[in-house]
Amino acid sequence: MKFKIEYINKFGNKKEFVKDFKTKEEQENYSSKLIKNKNKRIKISKLRDLQKIEQDYNLLLNDILCKKRKINGNLYFIYALIKDDEIVYIGQSADIMGRLSTHISSSKVFDHYSIIETFSNISSDYVLKKEKEYIQIFRPKYNKTYV
């Protein structure tokens, strides 16, 4: 049976290869030899059948493709930053991930976010109006305008 051998040798180099063992004893002897030669992080794992790997790949691919989303132009998001169960900031952006990245590197303290509304093909003035309404309702501590 084929096994994948992975380890870090005594010089710090990662080694990885496939080896065929006919018996469990042969595998254990080889493992002992690796340990005696001062190798570290030794991992010997049974190789799965190639057909099984391809089936898993296709299942994973289909799962990902079922969840795909079309990239639409003119998408806007109104979102909330949340600390524990308190809304601490309301914002709007067409680039939600970029905006979150900016918030993460800011001084704002939050541990979650939530997308409140998503708009497609609507004027930015309307999105600003909706953002203002949410800020006036929740009065988050990090929002300084519209309060």
Number of structural domains found in the chain: 2
Q: What is the 3-state secondary structure (H, E, C) of the chain?
A: CEEEEEEECCCCCEEEEEEECCCHHHHHHHHHHHHHCCCEEEEEEECCCHHHHHHHHHHHHHHHHHCCCCCCCCEEEEEEEEECCEEEEEEEECCHHHHHHHHHCCCCCCCEEEEEEEEECCCHHHHHHHHHHHHHHHCCCCCCCCC
Q: Tell me the residue range of the domain where 80 lies.
A: 75-138
Q: What is the pLDDT of residues 6-49, one digit of tens each?
A: 888 888 888 888 888 888 898 888 888 888 888 888 888 877 66
Query: How high is the pLDDT of residue 134?
Result: 96
Same domain, 28 and 57: yes
Residue (of 100, 133, 130) closest to 114 by Cα position: 100
Q: Is the pTM of this model over 0.85?
A: no
What is the pLDDT confidence band of residue 51, given thresholds at 50, 70 and 90? low
Q: What is the pLDDT of residues 62-115, one digit of tens each?
A: 888 887 777 666 789 999 999 999 999 999 998 899 999 999 999 999 999 999
Among 66, 88, 112, where does a domain finish?
A: 66
Query: How high is the pLDDT of residue 66?
Result: 85
